[in-house]
Each structure stands twice: as C-alpha cells, then as structure tokens.
Amino acid sequence: MASHPALIGDAETALESRTMSVRFAPAYNPARITGWQAGWRGLVCRARAQAANDNPGSTDGAEAPIRAFDPILAEALRHFAVHGLGAVDAALDEAASAAASGDSNAKDHWLAITHMFDRRRAVAAAVDSDLV
C-alpha cells in the first residue's frame, strides 16, 4: 500500500490488514420480509402455477384452455435464433421472394412468422402490392 502522509507507523499496518466486506442486499421491503417470516410459519398459501399473462381469455376467473403446440411459434423461434434482431426483415425478404416465385403457401408461412415478431409490419406486407 502506498504511504500516505497522514498514516504513520502502526496505523498504516493496521489499515493494510483490514479487509472490507461487501454485502449485496435487496432494497428494504417490509412485505417481502413479512412474507418470508410467514412462509417459515406455514401461513402462506400456494401461488398460482401460471403467470397472469398466460391466461389471456380468463376474465371471469375461469381457467383458459391449454393451447396446443403451435408449429409457427416454433418456426419463428428457430428463425429468431438464426437471424436475431434482423429476423423480421429476413422473414419479409423470404415472403417477398416466395411471392415473386408464385408460391402462396410459402408466402403465407413467412408472413405468419413475421406476424409473430411484428404484427403491424406483417399486415402492411400482406396488403402491399408486391406480396398480394
């Protein structure tokens, strides 16, 4: 440790031997602390297994039906894994090339993938004269 004019003799040695502890703690929240204590006593009921946004059709408290596997969602996720943030542009390019070649099924497929990422651009591309 570099010598400081204010530190002389034993004070400098004592300062070098001390270690500083760092504590990372969340902000104080009485509800969280109370909830933790209540959990230890068994006074907390079980939380819902699903997040609130997983049940879009449930407004009256009834459970929404479980959705089936969506292959377009799986394709969109794979497409995003390959193209990243440029996935929308790449999907629109694929839709345009499919429309240019006259393959309406492929065009609809790529527009559905685009719709998963950006609904407005998918609708705009669908009504665009190049893709209709």
pLDDT tens, residue by residue, 27-38: 655 555 555 555
- C-alpha neighbours within 13 Å on the C-beta side of residue 39: 8
Q: Is it the case that residue 111 has pLDDT exceeding 90? A: yes
CA 85 from centroid of its chain's CA atoms: 14
Question: Is residue 12 included in any domain, yes or no?
Answer: no
Domain assignment of residue 122, yes or no: yes
131: region left, alpha or beta (phi > 0 left; psi from -120 to 50 alpha): alpha
Residue 85 lies in a domain: yes
Q: How many domains does the chain have?
A: 1
What is the reported pLDDT for 32? 57
pLDDT reported for residue 132: 46
Identify whether 98 is part of a domain. yes
**Does 95 reside within a domain?**
yes
Q: Is residue 14 part of a domain?
A: no
Higher-scoring residue by pLDDT: 28, 113: 113
In a domain, 100, yes or no: yes
Domain that holds residue 103: 71-127
